[in-house]
Structure 1
């Protein structure tokens, strides 16, 4: 499971700039005044083969008791509770402030792994100004420059090296080695109160649920092993199993970081939607992350029995428009409370998993591509027409089809979707994304 790293510090020390540098994005708004970031902001990062989730937070004032500053402090405490490690960001230009000492005391009480990053230290790796930050008693300060990208790699290496890589970790490219006889890792994702707990109770029984209702922070993974129809499943909880009041108030029932971790660790994602609320932006965000992760997806509309015919037509239109990028995902109408539609749901989950790990032989794929070209050739790109010669499978979960040929950079997205449709129809792929990679042959005489 991906480690979670929280960025904490007082206002305007460069946390959002560091967040953007670590995630290689511009998702966090950056400006030269304090208090810009207020909510927690989540992003994905990668260093070599190591992946992680990073949380950006607003300026932290641990003793704040009123107004927006109090709410920002609450958000930061939530981020620290969710995190496996904390990067304490400071500003070398302003030195060690009293507020930094307050934050340091709070972090020591939290009993987290803390790494000190002294920002805005471009060209100052040996500066005596860094000695001041040893007063925090939190280990060696790491001089970094988020704006210029200096020292970021060594900081991340220090943070990630503190985590042991699980023996059963599956890295990208290893998916094809997955043994289909193993349990299917199933993540149930969705907004609060969509019926996740009700559905899980229906599957497992209340006694099993209580046995796994352990207190703790949201980063503690909860998985439940169970079997249905001879197939073993490992249910990955997305924080919906915890009963309200069993965890301290700052931990919400629905945790974004928990959902991101569960999706990344799953084989199949069950996206649960509340029929009475319709498809919201949060549903679309969760679905988008599942698609970006390459996971198989099944959509279940819960509480279908609680809406009238007009509402049913409305939500079906919403799914077609707002979740159009999941057109490959089967849509099931269920009622977890009344146990309706659960049989077809199990079949859809099993079909999605088998599709994600479908084996495709090179001769069959090549024949499919050649037949597709005979039926409809790609359009010309300039003076030449792309030529598709042969294809082979490049990976599983999601299935990857690599097509070789000449001038393939001219193949349009429309034609790629056409090829995807032909492959899907032949292999009856449902519930899983399908990636097509085009590789053009190099002309050996191009440089002569």
Structure 2
């Protein structure tokens, strides 16, 4: 049912963020030759290896007790708590140092499968690079290069094999048992997710409590509205109220990622009284990356003054331009204001995400888009977009074939996305465009010389020879 979670740990500047970007095939983690850049946990979907998984980048553990290091250690502990396996990175160029032994002892306390990776091993003999790290007692080390990708896929496959078998859990769970439109409700702690779900279904099905961290696990809430089936996915576990006061549990982005993977449409709940936070933007980025339809619900709107409402609207308009396709709803989950309109948008987004369009219609729109705005010149040659077809749904994926399409700038791709979205009413859902470069049938063939040009060249040579001969003869006579 859920993807395994792999945590990356190690000293500062050993290449964790570089490996994170390699595994997720993104540039989400900031990379520089400077220790301590990563302080908070960074989450992403792994795309290297045989099976899907969630990878968590963590800050480096240096063992210092001053500054931000204790806070970073707390983030690492949280990552290790929710991880199913650990990739422990060490620096193969520096060799084994005491800090690595301290981290090894710390990681061993969590009793999780650990794969030791000797990073920055490009150009080194792997046996020699690994030899001194056997002393850590974490099994056989594996030499890799996160910067160049050497041995990374093999390392992921190996750590996935170390995890306990969860096939029996997957057999007991089937998404087909949850009919209708599956809607994931995600958001920061205490923004009103559970209150919103209770309002949407009209009964107290999940625990709503004015304390962050009440939620623990994703739950599925099936119900019907106007004869149409829905399943709401709350990143929450139903808990008895007496247990709520025992411990304030930290919000886990892993649960949000799993809920989005299981859903058709995502509702991101934002606390209007606090405005848009960095964690809201993190969740929004993950929702866009998941490819699911997206609806934004700004909650607690009834508690805001006129000036606050104007400020929040301006902030949303300015900071959410990259997700301008998602419709925004200003609601009050507690009083029900605007909640009914959410269903109309959810239905529209779901229909758009699964809407099929014919190849002829796609090509008609593509042809008109090219006529209205020509692709740019690349090295003096115009990019040619020949034809398009639908490559997938949820989200809609358009495959465009042509010449030099791999060199098209992002601005033109965004232009095409907006044209397709408007033409086919793909509202509230991401639209992806993939390019396929057409093969040149004349590539590799020797070009035949132009006979007319050859004749002109031959005449020019003959004239030059004759002129030279006449000049020589004239010189001799004189």
User: TM class, shorter-chain normalised?
Assistant: 0.7 to 0.9
Over 3 Å counting, the alpha-carbon distance change for 1:98 and 1:447 in structure 2 is closer
Partner of residue 316, structure 1: 313
**Cα-to-partner distance string for 1:148-169 (whole Å, 9 max, x where unaligned):** 5443332112012345687999
Comparing 48-57 with 298-307, greater Cα deviation is found at 48-57
Partner of residue 267, structure 2: 270
Partner of residue 172, structure 1: none
- 1:6–1:54 CA contact under 8 A, matched in 2: yes
Out of 228, 236, 248, the residue aligned to residue 224 of structure 2 is: 228
- SS of alignment partner, residue 447 of structure 1: coil
Over 3 Å counting, the alpha-carbon distance change for 1:165 and 1:434 in structure 2 is farther
- Deviation of the 1:84 alpha carbon: 1.6
Partner of residue 153, structure 1: 153
- Deviation of the 1:182 alpha carbon: 4.3
Partner of residue 300, structure 2: 303
Over 3 Å counting, the alpha-carbon distance change for 1:130 and 1:285 in structure 2 is closer
2:155 & 2:162 partners in 1: Cα distance? 11
- Deviation of the 1:200 alpha carbon: 2.5
Partner of residue 31, structure 1: 33
Matches within 5 A, 1:41-60: 41-48=42-49, 50-60=51-61
- 1:192–1:240 CA contact under 8 A, matched in 2: no
Matches within 5 A, 1:303-382: 303-370=300-367, 376=372, 378=374, 381=377
1:266 & 1:280 partners in 2: Cα distance? 24
Instruction: Figure out how many residues of one structure are paired with residues of the other and give that number.
Output: 430
Partner of residue 141, structure 2: 141
- Deviation of the 1:352 alpha carbon: 0.8
* Higher helix proportion (structure 1 or 2): 2
Partner of residue 2, structure 1: 3
- 1:92–1:120 CA contact under 8 A, matched in 2: yes
- 2:49–2:153 CA contact under 8 A, matched in 1: no
Name which structure has the greater RCO, CA cutoff 8 Å, separation 6+: 1
- SS of alignment partner, residue 313 of structure 1: helix
Over 3 Å counting, the alpha-carbon distance change for 1:91 and 1:406 in structure 2 is closer
- Deviation of the 1:204 alpha carbon: 5.1
Over 3 Å counting, the alpha-carbon distance change for 1:149 and 1:377 in structure 2 is closer
Over 3 Å counting, the alpha-carbon distance change for 1:310 and 1:71 in structure 2 is closer
- SS of alignment partner, residue 391 of structure 1: strand
- Deviation of the 1:224 alpha carbon: 1.2
The structure whose Rg is larger is 2
- 2:398–2:434 CA contact under 8 A, matched in 1: yes
**Cα-to-partner distance string for 1:102-141 (whole Å, 9 max, x where unaligned):** 54444333231222223455524223x7455445543322
- 1:74–1:250 CA contact under 8 A, matched in 2: no
Comparing 267-276 with 93-102, greater Cα deviation is found at 93-102
2:203 & 2:279 partners in 1: Cα distance? 28
- Deviation of the 1:276 alpha carbon: 1.8
**Cα-to-partner distance string for 1:90-110 (whole Å, 9 max, x where unaligned):** 355666666545544443332
- Deviation of the 1:81 alpha carbon: 0.9
Over 3 Å counting, the alpha-carbon distance change for 1:52 and 1:272 in structure 2 is same
Structure 1, unpaired ranges of 5+: 170-177
2:375 & 2:133 partners in 1: Cα distance? 62
- 1:189–1:238 CA contact under 8 A, matched in 2: yes
- Deviation of the 1:334 alpha carbon: 1.2
- 1:270–1:299 CA contact under 8 A, matched in 2: yes
2:396 & 2:102 partners in 1: Cα distance? 50
1:313 & 1:387 partners in 2: Cα distance? 45
Partner of residue 174, structure 1: none
RMSD, aligned CA: 4.1
2:141 & 2:188 partners in 1: Cα distance? 39
Over 3 Å counting, the alpha-carbon distance change for 1:395 and 1:314 in structure 2 is same
> Given the two structures, how large is their TM-score scaled by the length of structure 2?
0.74
